[in-house]
Amino acid sequence: MSPFELLKTQLDWLKPLFFVVIFCLLVTGFARLGLILWLNERVYNTGGTGFIMLQGLRFDLVTLAYLLALPAAVTPLLNAVRATRRGWWQVLNAYLLLVFGLLVFMELVTPQFIREYDVRPNYLFVEYLKYPKEVFSMLWVGYKPALLSVLLLLPALLWLAYRGLRLQSARVAQNRLRFAPLLAFTTLVLCAFTARSTLDHRPVNASTVAFSSDTLVNSLALNSLYATANAIYEMRHEEAGFAYGEVDKRAAVAAVRRSMHLPATAFADHDIPTLHRQVATEHRAQPRNLVVIVEESLGAEFVGALGGLPLTPNLDELAEEGIWFENLYATGTRSARGLEAIVTGFPPTTSQSVLKLGRAQNNFFTLGDYLKRYGYETSFIYGGEAQFDNMRRFFANNGFDTVIDKHDFVDPSFEGSWGVADEVVFSFAHAFFQSMPSDKPFASVLFTTSNHSPWEFPDGRIELYEEPKATVNNAVKYADYAIGQFMRAAKDSDYWNRTVFLIVSDHNSRVYGADLVPIERFHIPGLILGGGVEPQRLNRVASQIDLLPTLLSIIGISGQHPAPGIDLTRPDIAAIPGRAIMQYGDTQAYREDDKVVILRKEKPAALFDYVGEQLIRAPDDDTLLRKAQQFAAWPTIAYRQQEYRLPNATKAALLATGAAAQRDVPQREQRHLAPIASAASSAIMQLASAISAP
């Protein structure tokens, strides 16, 4: 046998692997080309078509190198031994089909994911897989064509791959054992080099293809399996998060304190650096009740009073009756992030929301825990499943006496994929509030579900804005209808004059755009009314984290807490820049009025002007850039060192400073027994419900 023939025989085992590699590259290449054609305007504006295709090939090879390195390396060894040859090829072919199937599946689901999130599948894809019941119900109800295309195309392509693999592996010659170790080592080295894809200090990663200001266009150069696997890998570090540059803790704390615009004497506890005394601007003989209504996915573009579509006549009318926020911005793109900001006042981090993080599952500052110490009865009422996003555990462990979800609604009139209709939630809440004793304040957070894809709601409630029924515009109109029904009932109730209401969105329905952070897609409505609140239009830039201290002032609570937001009722805020913080994947925007600092992972901070709903690059202001980096670093530091809490002696401190409402001490001591008993009873009932649940 000639040397050439010998070499050909010894490399014969590569045929099945090359077949799968080429087949995978064809699928991912055509899928990427299809996405480019679909999104041609955005891709054309970046001038990056060639870059995307070339880098796409590179990252497809990187992905396959990671997946095939070990199987490919051991194949020459096992193919050289007659006893293991046949069994190994069966195992290898099954593995190769699995790899091919995963790549195909991820590319098939990508267009629908992009429609929802304006980026390739990432950690959100992984998070939703934790809730298969809700996800599959949503897919079946709202996305049948996309689901059916996956169910039809995936088996067809797998069958073709199977036929090809059988044909290729049947022709593989046996290796000679003396050459097998060299072939195995060489294969492993080549795969490792392909996976690194560079001689630089660090291997290529998602940052390598961040060539434009459009996050979606940047992600096109990846494949969806790589993007998702990278997200899973990075989630290992999410609890700690990452910083946008090197930031000293003392500098971070100092920056956050300065941003609160309070005198140094307001800060007292060095163990909790942001703990400060807030003096309410409203002086109440009796603190007001508080009801926070968190509307699912209600972006500003759907709200008539904010210049959006004419879908919210009830909210538009209510806007004339209270404090209407014209420039309020969400901190993120997920419900957990919105609840984090609204209920705890905690700024967004590069990690997950604190609702899901281990160190925040007790002794973490929340509105519920704080008001409970003033004798409030606290509750969280959700139209869906409270296990979602770890809401039940977080709220129950952090000061909410009662947690109610869809399982607690008896014979609801309507239930969709994500939970009961908004009208069911509001009807229950209204009856619940009416049952509260008038001499004991209550605080409740309501979270709705109807304005969530696939947009299911009862028939006959509204005149549809468009056909078909299951659209976001119709769902928004129904959500507004339910708000109107509830607010009319509340106005006729005994608790109306004693209660302050906040209506606010958790986030927009879709966040997308060519800017590094599409600022306008974080714009949401916010309204505070009831309980003697005077009508006012607030035009300053504000964040969801500002709502908590603002509400405390309006309901008449003065005391110590660590929330860094600005009380927007303060008379001195005209001299304070409006500020908002927006987390968009691993990118954060820090906005002061119309100056926006964009912070990106492993990229230098950059300053932009926000003009006409677009970011225009501006000359860097080192002071503002550094402030943004320091503010972004602080929440991760505070979480890791457990510095976002109330001090252990809070009750005594409140009483000593006279912060606890105007009641005598003996009565207050007795009233603390009721919330404790209620919390214990609620915990027992929740445990029983969890045990008995299917």
pLDDT, tens only, 485-540: 999 999 999 999 999 999 999 999 877 788 899 999 999 999 999 988 999 999 99
| Nearest CA among 684, 659, 675, 638 for reference residue 363 | 638
Local structure of 596: helix, strand or coil: strand
Adjacent-strand bridge partners of 295: 505
Residue 528 lies in a domain: no
Alpha helices in 243-300 (DSSP H): 249-260
| Nearest CA among 525, 539, 517 for reference residue 628 | 517
Asked if 77 and 152 sit in the same domain, the reply is yes
Asked if 576 and 489 sit in the same domain, the reply is yes
Measured CA to CA, the distance from residue 452 to residue 471 in angstroms comes to 10
Residue 529 lies in a domain: no
Residue 188 lies in a domain: yes
Task: Output the CA torsion sign for 89, 91, 94, 99.
Answer: negative
| Nearest CA among 389, 517, 485, 501 for reference residue 442 | 501
On the CB side of 474, how many CA atoms lie within 13 Å of its CA? 19
Residue 466 lies in a domain: yes
Asked if 605 and 656 sit in the same domain, the reply is yes
Measured CA to CA, the distance from residue 546 to residue 524 in angstroms comes to 14
CATH of the domain at 422: 3.40.720.10
- Residue 38: count other Cβ atoms within 10 Å of its Cβ: 12
CA angle 254/257/260 to nearest 5° reads: 150
Helix axes 144-169, 14-38, angle to 10 degrees: 150
Structural domain count of the chain: 2
Local structure of 83: helix, strand or coil: helix
Measured CA to CA, the distance from residue 638 to residue 630 in angstroms comes to 12
Q: Phi then psi for 381, rounded to 5 degrees?
A: -125, 120
| CA 121 to centroid of chain Cα atoms | 13
Asked if 85 and 112 sit in the same domain, the reply is yes
CA angle 91/92/93 to nearest 5° reads: 95
Label residue 82 exposed, middle or buried (CB < 10 Å: 0-12, 13-18, 19+).
exposed
Q: What is the pLDDT of residues 588-640, one digit of tens each?
A: 999 999 999 999 988 999 999 999 999 999 999 999 999 999 999 999 999 99
Measured CA to CA, the distance from residue 563 to residue 409 in angstroms comes to 33
On whether the CB atoms of residues 97 and 158 are closer than 8 A, the answer is yes
Q: What is the DSSP secondary structure assignment for residue 280, as one 8-state letter?
A: P
- Name every residue whose Cβ is closer than 8 Å to that of residue 568 and which is 6 or more positions away in sequence: 323, 538, 540, 542, 546, 550
On whether the CB atoms of residues 331 and 582 are closer than 8 A, the answer is yes
Six token digits for residue 610: 């926000």
Q: What is the DSSP secondary structure assignment for residue 334, as one 8-state letter?
A: S
Q: What is the DSSP secondary structure assignment for residue 461, as one 8-state letter?
A: S
Q: What is the DSSP secondary structure assignment for residue 643, as one 8-state letter?
A: -
Asked if 302 and 170 sit in the same domain, the reply is no
pTM, 2 dp: 0.76
Adjacent-strand bridge partners of 569: none
Q: What is the DSSP secondary structure assignment for residue 343, as one 8-state letter?
A: I
- Residue 203: count other Cβ atoms within 10 Å of its Cβ: 12
- Name every residue whose Cβ is closer than 8 Å to that of residue 137 and which is 6 or more positions away in sequence: 417
> What is each CA distance from 14 to 152, 160, 172, 215, 649, in whole angstroms?
30, 19, 8, 37, 69
> What is each CA distance from 380 to 132, 352, 421, 561, 646, in whole angstroms?
24, 21, 16, 21, 20
Q: DSSP string covering 482-526, please?
A: HHHHHHHHHHTSSSGGGEEEEEEESS-S----SSSS-GGGGEEEE
Adjacent-strand bridge partners of 293: 446, 503
Q: Phi then psi for 494, rounded to 5 degrees?
A: -75, -25
- Residue 46: count other Cβ atoms within 10 Å of its Cβ: 17
Q: What is the pLDDT of residues 565-592, one digit of tens each?
A: 999 999 999 889 999 999 998 899 999 9
Tell me which residue range forms the domain holding 315.
249-523+534-692
Q: Which of 176, 205, 235 is a domain's end point?
A: 235
Residue 215 lies in a domain: yes
Q: Give the pairing type, strands 536-538 and 323-329.
A: parallel
Q: Phi then psi for 652, rounded to 5 degrees?
A: -65, -40
On whether the CB atoms of residues 295 and 547 are closer than 8 A, the answer is no
Residue type, 456: E
On whether the CB atoms of residues 146 and 111 are closer than 8 A, the answer is yes
Asked if 269 and 173 sit in the same domain, the reply is no
pLDDT score, position 694: 34
Q: Which of 200, 235, 270 is a domain's end point?
A: 235
pLDDT score, position 655: 37
Alpha helices in 332-448 (DSSP H): 335-339, 367-372, 391-397, 422-434
Q: Is 297 left (phi over 0), alpha (psi -120 to 50) or beta?
A: left
Residue 241 lies in a domain: no
Q: Does a cis peptide bond (omega within 30 degrees of 0) precede residue 468?
A: yes
Asked if 408 and 446 sit in the same domain, the reply is yes
Measured CA to CA, the distance from residue 407 to residue 653 in angstroms comes to 39
Mean pLDDT by 10 residues, the chain (694 residues): 70 90 96 95 91 96 96 92 90 96 93 84 74 70 77 92 90 84 93 90 77 82 92 64 86 96 89 95 92 97 97 98 98 95 96 87 94 96 89 91 92 93 97 94 97 94 96 97 98 96 94 88 97 94 98 96 97 93 94 97 94 94 96 94 83 42 31 37 39 35
Helix axes 224-235, 49-79, angle to 10 degrees: 80
Residue 240 lies in a domain: no
Local structure of 536: helix, strand or coil: strand
On the CB side of 633, how many CA atoms lie within 13 Å of its CA? 19
For the chain, how many helices (H) and strands (E)? 23, 16
Six token digits for residue 643: 């510095």
- Name every residue whose Cβ is closer than 8 Å to that of residue 206 and which is 6 or more positions away in sequence: 219, 222, 227, 230
- Residue 534: count other Cβ atoms within 10 Å of its Cβ: 8
Asked if 380 and 493 sit in the same domain, the reply is yes
Local structure of 263: helix, strand or coil: coil
- Name every residue whose Cβ is closer than 8 Å to that of residue 651 and which is 6 or more positions away in sequence: 373, 660, 672
Asked if 230 and 291 sit in the same domain, the reply is no
Asked if 226 and 281 sit in the same domain, the reply is no
Q: Which of 203, 235, 267 is a domain's end point?
A: 235
Alpha helices in 170-248 (DSSP H): 180-196, 215-219, 224-235
- Name every residue whose Cβ is closer than 8 Å to that of residue 90 and which is 6 or more positions away in sequence: none
Asked if 505 and 653 sit in the same domain, the reply is yes
pLDDT score, position 218: 87
Adjacent-strand bridge partners of 579: 592
Strand blocks (E) in 301-343: 323-329
Residue 384 lies in a domain: yes
Adjacent-strand bridge partners of 503: 293, 527
Asked if 229 and 253 sit in the same domain, the reply is no
On whether the CB atoms of residues 286 and 532 are closer than 8 A, the answer is no
